[in-house]
Amino acid sequence: MKKIFYMTLIAANFFLLISCEENLSPLGEYHEKYSLNCVLRGDSTVQYATVTKSFNNENPYSANPEDRFLKNADIRIWQGNNVYRFRDTLIHTTIYGKQTSLNLYYTKGFVPQENDQIEIEALLENGKRLSSKTQLPKSLYFIKSQSDTSIPSKDNQQVFVKWESAGENLIYATEINIYYRKKGYELGLAKKVPLSYIKQDGKYYPNFASPTNQHYISVSMDAIRRAMNEISEGDPNKKNYSILTMIVHVHTYDKNLSEYYVSSSQSLDQFSINVDAVDYSNVQGGFGLFGSYFSKMYVIKFNREFIGSFGYNVGVEE
């Protein structure tokens, strides 16, 4: 459930930041403004959206977020000749350190396709209309001839995965997990793997992948070994664990979501810094973000001897 709401909550936080920007001066004249936020997931049949309004308050942190998430909006999505209507529901989250129930909208059965051109429209109770468009990114293809297929890697230093560009100036967010089973647990488990570990003050800290415009990732074998050890940390019985595989998940952001990330992030890489955070909006009639992303996964198998060196069982044959 966490992953389902992840991008929607990012969009909700985007609105909260805009609200703060718009109301910094108590002397300015207040104009109520509205925001529509929706990020489509190409790997899901359930999509979410929020509709929010600004507030007239000298201290935005003292305002109740629940009052800003509007109910009874008529939200629809057009996919060619097909129309999908959103229903409303509630989620529970934490904003400004306070447990809060927020109204949002969802639709089931709508599955975005690569390169789809999608339109969204929200009609509010007061007659206000918010709308936007997005084009989903192309499907991503991994370049297997330039990517490692097993662990340890050929050079035993780095595991390298490369993919073809899905479009100009797009951003890719990667997540790397080792999947395994533990005795006594009915469901499989996942261990998140960083790109590397950074040593500071005698301790090692994980360096996880950040969204980037690069078409590859490189994971150090040292990070994989440390992650493997951490799977059973504190448990002397290593035979309680069966290692399955490692999967690299790559999420391709569309043009809208990529532009939002670049405009809102502190830096895209170690050489570039953006100072115009939260300025991005692609919603007509108000503020907000309407974007999309596709997810693809690349499976890397573990060598049997490598798994055995940690004392674990082999969950999947090489």
Q: What's the pLDDT score for residue 255?
A: 93
Beta-carbon contacts of 55 under 8 Å, excluding residues fewer than 6 positions away, are 19, 23, 63, 67, 68
Q: How far is CA 166 from each of CA 154, 187, 190, 255, 257, rounded to the nearest angstrom?
A: 27, 34, 27, 11, 14
Residue-wise pLDDT tens digits, 105-136: 999 988 888 888 999 999 999 899 999 999 99
Is residue 243, in this structure, part of any structural domain at all? Answer: yes
Least confident of 56-65, 226-235, 268-277, 288-297: 268-277
Is residue 177 domain-shared with residue 241, that is, in the same domain? yes
Looking at per-residue pLDDT, the higher value among 111 and 227 belongs to 227
Give the model's confidence band at 24: pLDDT under 50 very low, under 70 low, under 90 confident, else very high: very low
- 49 and 14 in a single domain? The answer is yes
281 within domain boundaries:
no
Average model confidence (pLDDT) across the chain? 83
> In this structure, are 152 and 128 located in the same domain?
no
Co-location of 86 and 187 in the same domain = no
The predicted structure's pLDDT at residue 56: 58
Asked if pLDDT for residue 101 goes beyond 90, the answer is no
> What pTM was estimated for this model as a whole?
0.80
On the question of pLDDT at 89 being above 50, the answer is: yes
**204 lies in a domain?**
yes
Residues 70 and 129 in one domain: yes
Q: Which of 136, 160, 194 is the last residue of a domain?
A: 136
Confidence at residue 221, expressed as pLDDT on a 0 to 100 scale: 96
What CATH number did the domain enclosing 104 receive? 2.60.40
How many structural domains compose the chain?
Answer: 2
Residue 150 has pLDDT above 80, yes or no: yes
Q: Which one has a higher pLDDT value, 228 or 4?
A: 228
Which of 136, 168, 186 is where one domain is finished? 136
Q: What is the rounded average pLDDT of the residues 77-88? A: 91
Look at 143-147, 197-201, 224-228, 238-242 and tell me which has the smallest mean pLDDT: 197-201
Q: Quick check: is 277 in a domain?
A: no
Q: Are residues 73 and 197 in the same domain?
A: no
pLDDT reported for residue 29: 57
In this structure, are 74 and 190 located in the same domain?
no
Residues 83 and 212 in one domain: no
The pLDDT assigned to 17 comes to 41
Residue 231: how many other CB atoms lie within 10 Å: 18
- Structural domain that includes position 48: 2-136
**Contact (CB, 8 A) for 139 and 82:** no
Same domain for 188 and 233: yes
More confident residue, 196 or 11: 196
pLDDT tens figures, 162-200: 999 988 889 999 999 999 999 988 889 999 999 999 988
Q: Do 58 and 159 share a domain, yes or no? A: no
Domain-embedded: residue 287: no
pLDDT over threshold 90, residue 33: no
Query: What pLDDT score does 60 carry?
Result: 52
* 46 belongs to a structural domain: yes
The verdict on 187 and 108 lying in the same domain is no
pLDDT at 141: 94
State residue 273's pLDDT score.
41
Same domain, 172 and 310: yes
Last residue of a domain, one of 118, 136, 154: 136
